[in-house]
Chain A
């Protein structure tokens, strides 16, 4: 019998798969408590490196046409569809799901990417407008990406959670640093492999694995992170985050206490207003006349 070659789970930063600079690792166990894999126990420095990569990627990603960003999100769906068997296996091993349940989660994740892909060239029309000012001016408002966004992905569902939180953030041109699920991080790392083959520019999405208690405060305190969207923390942690975020007038947004089941609910967790909350309205004026 042939021995299988196992995957080394690393992080996803700046389009590459580095190990944590700290050299630490965490054990990931299956639902029965049996060893599955080691993942990186990411450090504060890893978060900072990721923030630098995200900032570097911001200008270029924001400048891409909406059509292209939409196509890249759609390509992410294509890549995920082609690799669904791998994700189903991972989900079954890692979170103890049945094949049917795992299949459902992967399918939902793919469909959600397709839904958000379609928003890339529509959110501007949805949230922007031309304003009838009382004067001889042409005046319009457009939503622009907020910048570098920190995402605290939910613990479960391990794949659908991270997909549903990344997509509304990046489709407008934001870049992000994602703190992956602590208990079930394998899919997040594998998602990096999907992203890297989807023509997503390096640094647009950066995925860090490790302990939230260590990583989240680093994001909140970081002076060059413009927003943090938290889908996981308890109230006390979220409050601490929001306090620390005030030093840079960070947009600290909490969608806490979303149940695992709710992530499948399109009314709730497939939300155009999650796109809007990490955009900034820019209003431009110009005189009309000859």
Chain B
């Protein structure tokens, strides 16, 4: 039987290699950076103007694919954050909360349109600053960011229909902290519902990817929003802490690691600030014997290597039913050899640069832990660029549930493959984690698929697909993956009071 000597078979599989002759070579198709006009220095966006930080400090932001400095960016101090919060408070009291909701809607529609208009430039900038393939920033990040503003714009004057029997009220100033994996898109996820619900905003982008958020500030200016309604302050963890701890902030929204999320939850405890957390994950992707295997393999690849695995809902734990395990692993190994890793600006690129040195070190450390614990790595045989931060797509077999790589969020292009026999075992293993962000289920049997989807303790379940996002579709976690939802009608609640 096929499953008798899996270890020996796997070794053989590892030696196989598909031969494409010369037909698999792609001529490079780099996107031009010409539409992007970088400034030497970026200031803070407070009260409708770009102002120098009181701290006087700036830090370089780089292109992780080349390690070249793109610009100097302000590092906001407590004083700067205080100014931003004051301006947001004033804008809230003076204009925004009093503004007719239908007018509020029109401002947000304007932002959506201007993101669409500047899509090309924003995509390129996103790729330059974050290292993600241009195909993704062009097709996913930027269009989805615009769509998010467009969706929530329409809610601004319809809130009473969203919460029957209640008179929803805005909260005040929202302090928002976002990560570096989808910089502009996360800014849109945060700002759009906050504004639609009548709040004003102080947003801090990640220290490694501040540039598209600062371009968004320019769009906010161009859209003629009242000064102070949106404030964007750049900086590091201390800047974020200053926002979270500011007494004049009424709402805190954070997307990032579970570790930092817990610190924020403690800081906000008992202050009356409303809190939403979108935290980490170790999402399960479950492949049944009766799945359409080729589609499933594409789904696995997309689930873990999309955006270099820098996705909080990445399908980083693969559970394959034993009957197809050998086949799936063989096909996975073949498929990772066809992934094109390299220049993020190249339109052919599948896997771009790791976002930062820090993240690369973390991935490297966990992959080493995987090897030390006896897991077997299979990697894309590719030449990685000399400069920049890179990690070859990696698939681990021989993984046990207790191994670190099966437990901890790696946030990189690293997949752990585990197997199961029965649907019950798959559910048990998939749920056996403190996280509960997302999951994938692959089966051609609808009844089975919905039964499993029902039993998984996760906020998003993708059936026969993975990593789909839409502004109308709520996203967020169970358990230690956080609380509150972003997207959809449910995404309004974190920004409103129903009392």
A residues near B, CB below 8 A?
Answer: 126-127, 129, 131-135, 137, 139, 141, 146-147, 226, 235-236, 238-243, 245-249, 251-252, 272-273, 280-287
Q: Is B463 touching A286 in the complex (CB atoms < 8 A)?
A: yes
Q: Is B470 touching A280 in the complex (CB atoms < 8 A)?
A: no
Tell me whether A131 and B470 are in contact in the complex, defined as CB-CB below 8 angstroms, given that A249-B482, A283-B461, A284-B463 are known contacts.
yes
Q: Which residues of B contact A251 (CB under 8 A)?
A: 483
CB 8 Å contact bits of B97-130 with A (1 = contact, 0 = none): 0000000000000000000000000000000000
- Tell me which of B77-85, B323-331, B344-352, B471-479 binds A: B471-479
- Size band of the interface chain B makes with A: 35 or more
Q: Which residues of A contact B262 (CB under 8 A)?
A: 246-247, 249
* Residue of A133, A239, A247 with most partner-chain B CB within 10 A: A133
**Shortest CB distance B194–A (Å):** 19
Q: Is B472 touching A246 in the complex (CB atoms < 8 A)?
A: no
Within 8 A of A (CB), among B435-485: 449-450, 453, 457-465, 468, 470, 472-476, 478-483, 485
**Shortest CB distance B470–A (Å):** 4
Q: Is B463 touching A281 in the complex (CB atoms < 8 A)?
A: no
20 more A-B contacts (CB under 8 A) besides A135-B468, A281-B474, A287-B464? A134-B147, A141-B488, A236-B270, A242-B268, A243-B269, A245-B265, A246-B262, A249-B261, A249-B265, A249-B482, A252-B269, A283-B461, A283-B474, A283-B475, A284-B463, A285-B460, A286-B449, A286-B463, A286-B465, A287-B463
Q: Which residues of B contact A241 (CB under 8 A)?
A: 269
* Residue of A131, A242, A251, A281 with most partner-chain B CB within 10 A: A281
Q: Is A248 touching B434 in the complex (CB atoms < 8 A)?
A: yes
Q: Which residues of A contact B165 (CB under 8 A)?
A: 272
Q: How far is the CA of A134 from the CA of B266 in the complex (A)?
A: 38
| Minimal Cβ-Cβ distance residue in B for A251 | B483
Q: Which residues of A contact B434 (CB under 8 A)?
A: 248
Q: Which 6 A-B pairs have the closest CB atoms?
A: A239-B270, A242-B269, A246-B265, A133-B470, A286-B463, A131-B472
**Shortest CB distance B489–A (Å):** 6
Q: Is A132 touching B472 in the complex (CB atoms < 8 A)?
A: yes
CB 8 Å contact bits of B156-200 with A (1 = contact, 0 = none): 000000011110000000000000000000000000000000000
**Shortest CB distance B72–A (Å):** 36
CB 8 Å contact bits of B54-67 with A (1 = contact, 0 = none): 00000000000000
Q: Is B465 touching A285 in the complex (CB atoms < 8 A)?
A: yes
Q: Which residues of A contact B498 (CB under 8 A)?
A: 273
Q: Is A141 touching B473 in the complex (CB atoms < 8 A)?
A: yes
Q: How far is the CA of A252 from the CA of B266 in the complex (A)?
A: 11
**Shortest CB distance A127–B (Å):** 8
* Residue of A240, A249, A282, A286 with most partner-chain B CB within 10 A: A249
**Shortest CB distance B260–A (Å):** 11
Indicate whether B253 reaches chain A with its CB closer than 8 angstroms. Answer: no
Q: How far is the CA of A240 from the CA of B166 in the complex (A)?
A: 30
Q: How far is the CA of A132 from the CA of B147 in the complex (A)?
A: 13
Q: Is A131 touching B270 in the complex (CB atoms < 8 A)?
A: no
Q: Is B269 touching A281 in the complex (CB atoms < 8 A)?
A: no
Q: How far is the CA of A127 from the CA of B459 in the complex (A)?
A: 14
Q: How far is the CA of A147 from the CA of B460 in the complex (A)?
A: 17
**Shortest CB distance B272–A (Å):** 9
Q: How far is the CA of A281 from the CA of B470 in the complex (A)?
A: 15
**Shortest CB distance B491–A (Å):** 10
| Minimal Cβ-Cβ distance residue in B for A247 | B262
